[in-house]
Amino acid sequence: MTLLILMPGKENSELLKALKTLNPNLDIRIWPEVGDVNDISFAIVWNHPKGELKNYPNLKVIASFGAGVDHIFKDPDLPKNIAITKLVDDSLSGQMCEYVAGVILNQRLRLTEYREYQAASVWAPKAFKSGNNVSLLGLGHIGKEVAEYLVQLNFKVSGWSQSKKDIKNVTTFYGQSALKQAVHDADYIVCLLPLTPKTENILNKSLFSMAKKGAYLINAGRGGQLNEDDLLDALSEEKLSGACLDVFKVEPLPKEHPFWCHPKIYITPHSASMTNIKKAASQFYDNYLNMKNGETLFHQIDPDREY
Ligand code: OXD
């Protein structure tokens, strides 16, 4: 039972070392040096070439190297009836808590604004920005932690998800028809949704028109959730006051993209929350053993929902 690391363009040596530390006898292949394709039963995957996964007749588990699995479902030739797992790790959610809080506090404390004043040697003290209502779109493992973190920081938090969720001190909404209620009063709209056919382009003109004038958008879900032209319009019409984007339709963000030099857009390079290799390796290894022993896998996703 061989494990395949299928992550073109990613540095694999640290993951290989971490897996070998857990079990020096593990048979691990690194794509494209796969050897006999019949050996492969467990694949660790990130942005694999489309169609590649159908080449392994004995593949039983596809394990995403990240919390998101949309990169797997992008493959039109994805073989059916193979378990797909995602990474669920407190360090992923912990980083996201700090990222979202950091971006909101940066806005609230006007730190970027002061940096601009500093460049012009302007002394212009102002009160913190008012408004502490945060609406979180996406209340999965990461979204829930972020909601709880923001509550601790005294933000008034509401959340929206596809299915019903209850989180202490968070007003929750679910289902398409409740989207307006979820965002209408928000000073900050934060998207942490998984990318699925239902959430593609969800950050669009219609949602921006439901929001309070001057709301600030943070997208750390997926670039495919944002209608980029609608965002540019919402910013120029001052419907939204600004946006901080960590994820993009095309990554790396192309050099000529208008977001790069937009004065109201803050860009981070898909760095809000990054996989911790040692923790990931031990989660992959545990699931490899579960697969081998015919036991239930951790963090298996529902292929019908795609998350
Ligand atoms: C993830 C990511 O899915 O980094 O974990 O985007």
Is the minimum distance from the CB of 67 to ligand 1 under 6 angstroms? yes
Task: Give pLDDT < 70 ranges for the chain.
Answer: none
Domain residues of the chain, as ranges?
2-89+275-292, 90-267
Ligand 1 centroid – CA 176 distance (Å): 24
Tokens for 97?
């808590």
Model pLDDT, residue 122 = 98
Model pLDDT, residue 169 = 98
Model pLDDT, residue 195 = 97
- The enclosing H or E element of 162 equals none
Model pLDDT, residue 274 = 94
222 noted as active-site residue? yes
The CATH code of domain 2-89+275-292 reads 3.40.50.720
Atom of ligand 1 nearest to the CA of 273: 4
Model pLDDT, residue 127 = 98
What is the Cα–Cα distance from 40 to 61, expressed in whole angstroms? 10
What fold is seen in the domain 90-267? Rossmann fold (3.40.50)
Model pLDDT, residue 204 = 98
Ligand 1 centroid – CA 95 distance (Å): 11
Ligand 1 centroid – CA 42 distance (Å): 20
Q: Provide the whole-model pTM.
A: 0.94
Tokens for 14?
């640290």
Backbone angles phi, psi at 90, to 5 degrees: -60, -25
Q: Which of 275, 279, 301, 307 to mutate to test the pocket of ligand 1 (most atoms within 8 A of CB)?
A: 275
Residue of 108, 222, 262, 305 with catalytic role = 222
Asked if the domains 2-89+275-292 and 90-267 are classified in one and the same CATH topology, the answer is yes
User: 260-287 burial, b if ≥16 CB within 10 A, otherwise e?
Assistant: eebebbbbeebebbebbbeebbbbbbeb
What is the Cα–Cα distance from 203 to 223, expressed in whole angstroms? 10
